[in-house]
Amino acid sequence: MKKEPSPFHICYNKRMNKKIRISYKSFFTMAIVYLALPVVLFFLGYLKIYISIPLSVILIASVVLAVRDCTKGPDKTITEVKDVGFPAAFIAATAVFAIVVTVTNGVGEYMWGPYDHAFRRAILNDLIDYKWPIVYDSAKQSNEIVRALLNLNGDQGFVYYFTYWMPAALIGKIAGFTAGNIALIIWNSIGIFITITGMCIYIKRATYGTLVMYLCFGGLDVIPYLINEIIPYDGWFWIDGWVSHISYISNFNNLENVYHQVVPCYLIITMLLLARNNRSIGLTAGLIFAYSPWATFGMIVPAAVRLLSGDLRAEDRKKSVLNIFTFNNLAVPAVLLFVFGTYYSAKSDSMHDKGFVWDYYGSIPVFLLVYVLFLAVEVLPSFIFVYRRQRKNPMLWAAVAMLLICPLYKITESNDFTMRASMPALFILCIFMAQRISDYTAEDILLKRKNEKRKGVKEHIKMALFALVLIGMSYVTYYMTTVIYTSTFLTEERFTYDIVSFGDIAKPDYAEKIKDQFFVENPSETFFFKYLALSSHPQQ
């Protein structure tokens, strides 16, 4: 005899299945505030007061205007947009997912993290411990070997795209490093949660496929990995870097290595796809410059496509032109370009290794062969599965254009240009792939296919191939998760405390890279530190 469910289970199931409706305006408000808040903190914490206050007012005003305008169409009439119902269980699962992904990927350094996390921890440490703007005194380096390797005298300004850490750093200044570190985990988790919410709104249903793709999307790097395991070849460096000089990074590895760039980048792309008008495209896309100058290169084409998209164009030509030349499209990007452009340019000598990639190969035919194989592994699989549904979507072609261009040029030894400029385009494909998962798994679509008797041999083959591609993409996540958990619980090797502070570097191995990437000599002589920044004397 079947046991009847208890009143508790009935009540619990009702609560978990209850749908929470999240409107597009709610999503947009959360997203734009999330992106703008760290920038305001940078303005207030780093710039002279007579500069920071007006710029903060401009940015806050633009955010208010954007929120008030976000649900209006090109003709400034309210657009009818159906809210997406999110089951309470899905909301809870997504929140847990965001936290687990954040901690697993080393944010906060409670789990093992790769080499880069020594730098990440030092950045948060110094943002908490040092007066803003950060300026180091070379004489404070206590390690003699470090001092010899740096070979520096006087003040060293800290220059890096650290805006993402500002909320956590502020908490840390108030309540200590541990509180700031926990705040960073929470902040990162919030960014992931908001983005997945936006992905579901774009797809028009809450689907766990968004979680799968957010974490696992990438190329079929498992193929060259297996080839290298069987027949080792020159040029294989790591699972995402299987040819020399160019690589597209999977979502998982981006979330692990450059979360401070990729979480804002993914959120901005989601916002661009969801935009109801083009009057705040400049604000939305322009904010990426505060988080990643590299991703800014890759954001230009998608932002331009959305700015000029037919679905965001008013019927009246004059209105269309006025919609482009708005305060949010002109003033805010100009402010961001001026402030962060002058800040980043203070450290312009770190990009000495650059040029066309075929020059590094020494042969154009060899490069072309590598180029074709690279795109076949990294881009073609997802393109094949999203093409039919998205072939009339200009954003697909914007993504393809960027992914064809990015491998052609190299900046920095590891080619940050290709790795980071490709992030916006790859996430466009990621969202489209999540939509394909929804197409294959949604109950209403499955029922429709069953009624129409469409699931013949061809359909089964297509679904099987799609499943194989997803498994192939997920291998990088499986591989890296294994490395992380094994390294965390079965080994003692950790990079967490290798640096501690750029002002007093613990291990000499890092000194030259820190000098090359983060230090600017005589900062008071640069435009930013001389004219825009607060008093920049080193902390005693």
Q: Where are the alpha helices (DSSP H) in 70-115?
A: 88-104
211-254 residue pLDDT tens: 999 999 999 999 999 999 999 988 888 889 999 999 999 999 99
Indicate whether 454 pLDDT > 70. Answer: no
Which of 458, 511, 253, 245 lies closest to 356, judged by CA?
A: 245
Using a CB cutoff of 8 Å and minimum separation of 24, what contacts does 476-479 make? 476/216, 476/218, 476/221, 476/222, 476/239, 476/240, 476/250, 476/252, 476/253, 477/215, 477/216, 477/250, 477/252, 479/225, 479/239
Run of H or E residues at 356: strand 354-356
- pLDDT, residue 114, reads 84
Please name every residue paired with 533 in a beta bridge, in sequence order, or none if there are none. Answer: 47
The amino acid at 143: N
Percentages helix, strand, coil for the chain (3-state, rounded to 5) are: 70, 5, 25
Span between the terminal Cα atoms of the chain, in Å? 78
**Cβ distance 66 to 32 under 8 Å?**
yes
- pLDDT, residue 4, reads 60
Copy the structure tokens of residue 462: 């297509």
Percent of the chain, pLDDT > 90? 71
120-160 residue pLDDT tens: 999 999 999 999 999 999 889 999 999 999 888 888 999 99
Angle at 537 between CA 524 and CA 136, to 5 degrees: 90
- In this structure, of 8-22, 44-58, 290-304, 313-327, the range with the lowest mean pLDDT score is 8-22
Q: Tokens 């983005």 label which residue?
A: 195
Confidence grade of residue 353 (pLDDT, cut at 50, 70, 90) = confident
DSSP 464-520: HHHHHHHHHHHHHHHHHHHHHHHHHHH-----TTSSS-TTS-S-GGGHHHHHHHHEE
Indicate whether 1 pLDDT > 50. Answer: no
53-64 residue pLDDT tens: 999 999 999 999
Q: Tokens 């979480």 label which residue?
A: 263
Query: In whole angstroms, what is the distance from residue 104 CA to residue 132 CA?
Result: 30
Tell me, letter by letter, the H, E, C secondary structure of 135-167: EEEHHHCCCHHHHHHHCCCCEEEECCCCHHHHH
Please give the model's pTM, rounded to 2 decimal places. 0.93
**Exposure b/e, 175-211, CB count within 10 A at least 16 = b:** eebeebbbbbbbbbbbbbbbbbbbbbbbbebbbbbbb
Which of 162, 197, 166, 194 lies closest to 180, judged by CA?
A: 166
The number of angstroms, rounded, from the C-alpha of 206 to the middle of its chain's C-alpha atoms is 22
Indicate whether 354 pLDDT > 80. Answer: yes
DSSP class of 529: I
Residue 169 CB partners (closer than 8 Å, separation 6+): 124, 127, 128, 180
- pLDDT, residue 19, reads 82
Q: Tokens 């770190």 label which residue?
A: 350
Indicate whether 504 pLDDT > 70. Answer: yes
Query: In whole angstroms, what is the distance from residue 527 CA to residue 533 CA?
Result: 9
Domain range list for the chain: 22-532
Query: Cβ-count burial of 518 within 10 angstroms (0-12 exposed, 13-18 middle, 19+ buried)?
Result: buried
**Cβ distance 425 to 402 under 8 Å?**
yes
Parallel, antiparallel or unpaired: strands 155-158 and 519-521: antiparallel
Query: In whole angstroms, what is the distance from residue 407 CA to residue 419 CA?
Result: 9
Q: Tokens 């291990």 label which residue?
A: 507
Confidence grade of residue 488 (pLDDT, cut at 50, 70, 90) = confident
